[in-house]
């Protein structure tokens, strides 16, 4: 099943797009001899076009099928082999990452700064920035004496 990105990529070239338009508008498909084999191959490989009987025909169902796929978790693109590739600077993606990281800390438990560093270092080398973002967003709270971290209610009780 084609992914939307692959379809867009196949149509991103002006010559391939024009060929695809010619194939789509030909009532009985376009004769293969009237098309560049190289351009057509990319359209066929993407699933946009099928070749049969020496003619190229559009496969409109490929668009519906590509969109029918289950939505991809937006966090998947940010992680590789369990490690955060880059820290989003702002927005929904950053909020999702931080909420995901906050789940690593058990409710009702207090953590030392070293514990927090170890947990966050497993995900990204810049553990200090992640810790600061977690605190800034209220997902992790530091005790008043700076000796303990935890989920907001737990850290307040310790400090």
Long-range pairs, 54-57, Cβ under 8 A, ≥24 = 55/28, 55/29, 55/30, 55/31, 56/23, 56/29, 56/30, 56/31, 56/32, 57/23, 57/29, 57/30
How do residues 64-92 score in pLDDT, each as one tens digit?
888 886 667 778 888 887 889 989 888 89
Average pLDDT over residues 27-39: 94
Predicted TM-score (pTM) of the model is 0.53
3-state secondary structure 89-133: CCHHHHHHHHHHHHCCCCCCCCECHHHHHHHHHCCCCCHHHHHHH
* Bridge partner residues of 142 (DSSP): 149
3-state secondary structure of 137: coil
Per residue in 141-153, pLDDT tens?
999 888 899 998 6
Indicate the pairing of strand 55-58 with strand 30-31: antiparallel
Total domains, the chain: 2
Q: What is the mean pLDDT of the chain?
A: 89
Mark whether 27 and 57 lie in a shared domain. yes
- 38 shares its domain with 93: no
**Residues above pLDDT 90, as percent of the chain:** 64
Q: What confidence tens digit (pLDDT) does each residue in 37-56 have?
A: 999 999 998 999 999 999 99
Q: Which residues of 30-54 are buried (b: 16+ CB within 10 A; e: fewer)?
A: beeeebeeebbebbbebbbbebeee
Cα(127)–Cα(119) distance, rounded to whole angstroms? 8
- Cα separation of 81 and 101, whole Å? 15
- What are the pLDDT digits (tens) for 125-143? 999 999 999 999 999 999 9
pLDDT at position 95 is: 93
The stretch 96-106 carries a mean pLDDT of: 94
Instruction: With respect to residue 80, please indicate whether it lies within any of the assigned structural domains.
Output: yes
Q: Could you say which of 47, 69, 91 is where a domain stops? A: 69
Contact 149, 116 (CB under 8 A): yes
The domain of 16 spans 4-69
Residue 52's DSSP bridge partners are 55
pLDDT at position 2, please? 66
64 and 81 share a domain?
no
28 pLDDT higher than 50:
yes
User: Residue 124: pLDDT above 70?
Assistant: yes
pLDDT at 159: 46
Residue 158 belongs to some domain of the structure: no
């Amino acid at each position: 099943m084609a992914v939307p990105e692959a379809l867009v990529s196949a149509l991103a070239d002006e010559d391939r797009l024009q060929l695809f338009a010619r194939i789509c508008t030909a009532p009985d498909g376009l004769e293969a001899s009237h098309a560049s084999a190289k351009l057509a191959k990319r359209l066929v490989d993407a699933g946009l076009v099928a070749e049969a009987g020496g003619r190229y025909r559009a496969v409109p169902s490929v668009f519906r099928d590509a969109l029918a796929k289950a939505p991809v978790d937006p966090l998947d693109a940010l992680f590789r082999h369990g490690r955060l590739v880059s820290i989003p600077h702002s927005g929904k993606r950053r909020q999702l990452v931080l909420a995901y990281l906050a789940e690593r800390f058990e409710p009702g438990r207090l953590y030392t700064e070293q514990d927090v560093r170890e947990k966050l270092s497993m995900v990204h080398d810049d553990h200090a920035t992640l810790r600061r973002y977690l605190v800034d967003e209220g997902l992790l709270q530091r005790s008043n004496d700076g000796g303990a971290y935890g989920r907001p209610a737990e850290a307040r009780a310790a400090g």
